[in-house]
């Protein structure tokens, strides 16, 4: 168990737990065998279940398999700068029976983004994440970068964005990650970002519209619109429109819009059922911060659904995601009451799992594209 704990794989269940004196090992070609140190013998079958197993999937990103001078396989974790003789994929073995696969992978409220992407290689993929210098955006950007993607952190505050880039590079110096200026509260900035991105002449496989504002006091942007509405919805809407041609050229591509369950607690129609534009960008007298946030999140979902309807025939899919109830981030920073509530709730909040949604959507898109090709 000490070796498992060192490799971060100590979460085993009773069925697969080895008896005292036994050790689980792997061959170079991915087969699992068991060593009995008491009787000094090895065997292919699990000593308790009698099953044969093999490794499923590739090594986690940043890991390499090498052989020591005695011919024994060991594994190097370049990200955390450590070595171990225990294969990190042992937590994801499957039975040697094609009709009864038993993946050991499990996802719950404590699952991290890095665990979700375990074994995935996004080399060659270009990902843009808005609001990526902290919180959900940072975890999303970091996880993609550490799994090979070229990640662009689109942020308003370049000082904090560059610090985020440095933190990612500190975990893996070969990560392809950079920061670009994007202020969603200024439509001209959105336009400049799109122009600068297109000048790079790269593809765009994933666009994560994550940046958002919460509990802001009423104010108007320089474009004359209520700030929460423009930052949470309209700025992203404009960004997607400007990058639509790049997304279509890069198909299969994906737009992920971070929304919220709070979209259910509002309405943007008037008493006759027609869209009331005054509710989207209300005056100071009609403004309530929580309601403005909820309306912007409803706009996110309506936009994502319509975007998917229009662009999915061209290989660009769109999904709006709810990242989780009481997910801890810094979005509450604009009012001390919310800061206090989030601080009290932090021990019960979820981990950063947005990438679970992103990854599932990407895999689905790739499978659909492969099916069409066949």
Q: Which residues are catalytic?
A: 293
Element of type H or E holding 210: none
Q: Which residues lie across from 324 on neighbouring strands?
A: none
For residue 94, what are the CA distances in angstroms to 57, 97, 114, 150?
A: 10, 8, 21, 31
Length of the chain: 374
Sign for the CA dihedral angle at 55, 59, 63, 66 comes to positive
DSSP 85: S
CA dihedral 121, 123, 124, 130 (to 10 degrees): 90
Which segments of the chain are extended strands (E)? 22-26, 32-36, 41-43, 53-55, 63-67, 73-77, 82-84, 93-95, 126-130, 150-155, 176-181, 206-209, 253-258, 316-321
Closest by CA to 290, choosing from 236, 213, 223, is: 213
Cα–Cα nearest to 317, from 363, 365, 246: 365
- 244 Cβ contact list (under 8 Å, min separation 6): 311, 316
Contact 305, 109 (CB under 8 A): no
Helical pair 135-145 and 354-373, crossing angle rounded to 10 deg: 50
**Cα(267)–Cα(251) distance, integer angstroms:** 34
Among left, alpha and beta (phi > 0; psi -120 to 50; other), residue 62 is: left
- Residue whose C-alpha is closest to residue 118's, from 92, 140, 141, 97: 92
CB atoms within 10 A of CB 66: 10
């Amino acid at each position: 168990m000490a070796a498992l704990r060192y490799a971060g794989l100590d979460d085993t269940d009773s069925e697969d737990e080895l008896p005292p004196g036994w050790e689980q090992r792997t061959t170079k070609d991915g087969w699992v065998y068991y060593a009995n140190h008491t009787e000094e013998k090895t065997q292919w079958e699990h000593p308790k279940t009698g099953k044969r197993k093999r490794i499923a999937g590739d090594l986690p990103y940043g890991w390499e398999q090498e052989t020591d001078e005695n011919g024994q396989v060991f594994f190097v974790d370049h990200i955390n700068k450590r070595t171990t003789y225990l294969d990190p994929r042992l937590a994801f073995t499957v039975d040697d029976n094609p009709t009864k696969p038993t993946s050991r992978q499990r996802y719950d409220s404590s699952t991290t983004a890095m665990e979700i992407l375990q074994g995935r290689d996004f080399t060659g993929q270009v990902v843009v994440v808005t609001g990526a210098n902290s919180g959900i955006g940072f975890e999303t950007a970091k996880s993609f970068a550490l799994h090979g993607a070229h990640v662009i952190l689109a942020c308003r505050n370049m000082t904090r964005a560059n610090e985020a880039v440095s933190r990612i590079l500190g975990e893996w110096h070969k990560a392809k990650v950079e920061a670009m200026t994007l202020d969603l509260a200024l439509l001209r900035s959105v336009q400049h970002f799109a122009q600068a991105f297109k000048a790079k002449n790269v593809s765009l496989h994933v666009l994560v519209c994550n940046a958002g504002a919460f509990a802001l006091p009423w104010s108007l942007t320089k474009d004359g619109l209520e700030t929460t509405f423009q930052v949470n919805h309209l700025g992203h809407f404009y960004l997607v429109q400007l990058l639509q041609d790049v997304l279509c050229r890069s198909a299969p591509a994906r737009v992920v819009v971070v929304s919220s369950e709070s979209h259910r607690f509002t309405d943007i129609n008037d008493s006759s059922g027609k869209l009331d534009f005054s509710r989207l960008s209300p005056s100071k007298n009609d403004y309530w911060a929580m309601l403005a946030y909820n309306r912007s999140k409803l706009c996110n979902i309506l936009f994502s659904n319509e975007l998917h309807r229009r662009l999915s025939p061209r290989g660009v899919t769109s999904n709006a995601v709810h990242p989780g109830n009481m997910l801890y981030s810094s979005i509450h920073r604009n009012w001390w009451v919310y800061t206090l509530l989030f601080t009290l709730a932090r021990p019960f909040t979820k981990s950063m799992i947005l990438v679970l949604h992103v990854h599932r959507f990407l895999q689905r898109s790739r499978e659909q594209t492969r099916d069409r090709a066949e």
